[in-house]
Structure 1
Amino acid sequence: MTHYADDAAHLHARHRSVLPEWLTLLYDRPIELTHGEGRHVWDSEGNRYLDFFGGILTTMTAHALPEVTKAVAEQAGRIIHTSTLYLSRPMVDLAERIAALSGIPDARVFFTTSGTEANDAALLLATTYRRSNQILAMRNSYHGRSFSAVGITGNQSWSPTSLSPLQTLWVHGGVRSRGPYAHLTDAQYIEACVADLKDMLQQTAGGVAALIAEPIQGVGGFTAPPDGLYAAFREVLAERGILWISDEVQTGWGRTGEHFWGWQAHGASGPPDVLTFAKGIGNGMSIGGVVARAEVMNCLSANSISTFGGSPVTMAAGLANLTYLLEHDLQGNARRVGGLLIERLRAVAAGLDIVREVRGRGLMIGIELVEPGTDEPSPRAAAAVTEAARERGLLIGKGGLNGAALRIAPPLSLTVAEAEEGASLLDEALQEAQKQLGGPAGG
């Protein structure tokens, strides 16, 4: 056991000597994950963990899913790479399925290798189509780490520069329980946000290109507006020809349980003009992409390719993963098991004054933590809970304002027994953190 511990410490030292300081690692003593199966992973010391984060919502179905690993191996045995300069049957097959599932009429699909790249491509399309570099983005949002994506990321913990090729206009609405409209009813909240949007657009010179929004803010701590906000926004945008980009990198593929896409909770006005996706579709393989109606997707006048987007191996993985997800109704499982899990976590949190809110839907659950007896976000509480959970064999993520929210997003095949186990482990971790921060113990 000591041999493995020494190896992990040595690997951490090597990591720090050759990789950027800003490359985030979880835990005071970072761990190396070596293999996984189902909803569990193991580290290099032999410790087993229940995975409630899925490599940042990316291992969507299960670790080492046989259907996906078989598809990857078989395709790799034929040909690994061709590029978009040649016809690719796996790419066309997956594009057809995603176009049909998107809800966007006359849809076209462009594949990338990540959500960042997908959002970057969506911004290129929107600004070119509208001949404007003005973008509406939500406060507290996160859209990636490219130069353009950072410029529209409202969560300042993940936006290292104010320089940007875009003029970003920040919109209210992504965080229901904080901010100037938090005290309003849902209907009043939507009305106030729409009025603010209209006022902003009246004072904006030139035509805005698009609104980009996550239906549920991922890195922002799984916060969301009331259902219907983006439908109300869409009516305002459509009157002015402004595009709506739905960033489904974290909310897509049925994770929210109630809907296949996050935008469908706001679907009264129909689908978005542009939809971006990534993460879960590849179940760990590097797939991202953009879906847009044809006139938007085809607006680029210059040639373009994607060297690695649409790779035969990743497309084979995506096809196998999507087929498994649909045939096993993992969206329904997310709704059922996620509903049980969130109620269990709300019961756990009821007696703890470090917990401000338990929120989310399906298997996308956030727990916002505060300093005991206050309403101040507590990153130290989140750090304490994350460490205590790891010590008990549970992996979770962090996000939100100053990193004070826990992010819980297990693979969509999570069982009821595993949900109960994870909730119990998180209960213990929250109790320990409450004691560390000096708050009264929960009952």
Structure 2
Amino acid sequence: MTPDLFGRHRAVLPDWLALYYEDPLELTHGEGRHVWDAAGNRYLDFFGGILTTMTAHALPEVAKAVGEQAGRILHSSTLYLNRPMVELAERVACLSGIPDARVFFTTSGTEANDTALLLATAYRRSNTILAMRNSYHGRSFSAVGVTGNRGWSPTSLSPLQTLYVHGGVRTRGPYAHLDDREFTDACVDDLKDLLGHTRAPAALIAEPVQGVGGFTSPPDGLYAAFREVLHERDILWIADEVQTGWGRTGEHFWGWQAHGQNGPPDIVTFAKGIGNGMSVGGVVARAEIMNCLDSNSISTFGGTQVTMAAGLANLAYLLEHDLQGNARRVGGLLLERLRAVAARVPHVREVRGRGLMIGVELTRPGTDEAAPEAASAVLEEARAGGLLIGKGGGHDTSALRIAPPMSLTVAEAEEGAAILERALRSV
């Protein structure tokens, strides 16, 4: 990137708008699992624009669908019938697992979560929300109000009363020493105790795998156990699938399915990968919940024709090429390879994740103390080696986040792991 563009960026955009790298990158084009910067350098992309390039960069099927739709009509708002929106809603409703599902499209995951919170509070007539510690749900006023990660929550002001529940991070906190069954039981007891001290909440909102939190997750079944407690009290369950949806975790199409013993969530939110870079988010809920609002509403840009065309083409490609299966196979190999590397690097506390959603947590050797400077150094070294990765974590962003397009090949996984190994060893 030229210094001139960086200077122009700083002159007109907010100081709090984060940029990666000491010398920020300008990405100019991409193809498959690779991107190029303005200087012509080629990189293997293991972050996909924050888990958003789900299938591949410049996927011909998506590019063709967008171009053809753009040649007809780009936009009309939701005040008019919209065939691509109806068709994508039909597919999402069917895939959601929610009976009698209704779908509302938004332009982002933040807006999707904001809508889910509106629906839940209106339906339950309560503005109390349960959320998970170390969570992240977006940038809007209400989404920030239910975010349990202080690094991404700039204000304590909120339209909601939020109570934070334990369980999203398996290997830290007061229950970390317990086995999975005991951990789940302790978290359920904590939830019951919390509910005994507050008025009935509207909903629990939870990411099956915490994204910005560093790809942490509870034992399978924890949210199913929570669901039993919530159901007894008519409290809704919102699954934030903005990062986990569409088969990225490999084992399941939705992250909630690892906790689905008692049926699907009441509300599911989605975004990021479905549009493969186009601005698509949305909410799926039972009809009685979705239809509970007693005032008129529209969306100017949610569900606009060109983004719906992209979503339809992208989803079709994902299903036809079994990218969920590929995420399971290639992700499993990559996870095993990185765990072998980590065993020889003192800075690595844990390698975790599932499918193509992998976190590498760094600490100061021999301690549980976060090492954000090490994470930044690895990020820089990986870039120098031709690999782009992300950062996150609830402990001073000391976790590396690895989430390449779900079409990643075995050879590309090996190449990326080798670059990351050299970067980790350099710390």
Band the TM-score falls in, shorter-chain normalisation: over 0.9
Q: Give distance in 1, aligned partners of 2:251 and 2:360.
A: 20
Q: Give distance in 2, aligned partners of 1:374 and 1:246.
A: 33
What 5-or-longer segments of structure 2 have no aligned partner?
none
Determine the structure 1 residue equivalent to 2:342: 349
2:313 counterpart of 1:320: yes
Match for 1:423 among 414, 417, 422?
A: 417
Q: Give distance in 2, aligned partners of 1:306 and 1:230.
A: 32
Letter in 2 for 1:359: R
When normalised by structure 2's length, the TM-score is 0.99
What 5-or-longer segments of structure 1 have no aligned partner?
434-443
Deviation at 1:151, TM superposition (A): 0.4
2:150 counterpart of 1:156: yes
Match for 1:240 among 233, 246, 254?
A: 233
Determine the structure 2 residue equivalent to 1:282: 275
RMSD of Structure 2 on Structure 1 (CA):
0.5
Determine the structure 2 residue equivalent to 1:126: 120
Determine the structure 2 residue equivalent to 1:68: 62
Q: Give distance in 2, aligned partners of 1:184 and 1:301.
A: 47
Q: Give distance in 2, aligned partners of 1:200 and 1:427.
A: 43
2:159 counterpart of 1:168: no
Deviation at 1:371, TM superposition (A): 1.1
Letter in 1 for 2:354: R
SS of the counterpart of 2:261?
A: helix
Deviation at 1:9, TM superposition (A): 1.2
Determine the structure 2 residue equivalent to 1:96: 90
Letter in 1 for 2:223: Y
Match for 1:412 among 401, 406, 411?
A: 406
Letter in 2 for 1:145: R
Match for 1:362 among 355, 359, 369?
A: 355
Q: Deviations over 1:373-412 (max 9, x none)?
A: 3210110010000000000000000000210000000000
2:376 counterpart of 1:383: yes
Q: Give distance in 2, aligned partners of 1:234 and 1:31.
A: 44
Determine the structure 1 residue equivalent to 2:103: 109
Choose 365-374 or 41-50, whichever is displaced more: 365-374
2:191 counterpart of 1:192: no
Q: Displaced runs of 4+ in structure 1, greater than 2 A?
A: none
Determine the structure 2 residue equivalent to 1:268: 261
Q: Deviations over 1:233-257 (max 9, x none)?
A: 0000000000000000000000000
Deviation at 1:131, TM superposition (A): 0.2
Determine the structure 2 residue equivalent to 1:223: 216
Give the alignment of 1:27-66 within 5 angstroms: 27-66=21-60
Match for 2:299 among 306, 328, 345?
A: 306
SS of the counterpart of 1:310?
A: coil
Letter in 2 for 1:284: G
Q: Give distance in 2, aligned partners of 1:405 and 1:140.
A: 13
Deviation at 1:372, TM superposition (A): 2.1
Q: Give distance in 1, aligned partners of 2:371 and 2:157.
A: 29
SS of the counterpart of 2:86?
A: helix
Determine the structure 2 residue equivalent to 1:438: none
Match for 2:200 among 207, 231, 238?
A: 207
Determine the structure 2 residue equivalent to 1:330: 323
SS of the counterpart of 1:16?
A: helix
SS of the counterpart of 1:269?
A: coil
Choose 121-130 or 370-379, whichever is displaced more: 370-379
What number of residue pairs does the alignment pair up?
426
Q: Give distance in 1, aligned partners of 2:368 and 2:161.
A: 33
Deviation at 1:356, TM superposition (A): 0.1
Letter in 2 for 1:301: D
Deviation at 1:360, TM superposition (A): 0.1
Letter in 1 for 2:335: I
Determine the structure 2 residue equivalent to 1:395: 388
When normalised by structure 1's length, the TM-score is 0.96
Letter in 1 for 2:272: K
Q: Give distance in 2, aligned partners of 1:348 and 1:217.
A: 23
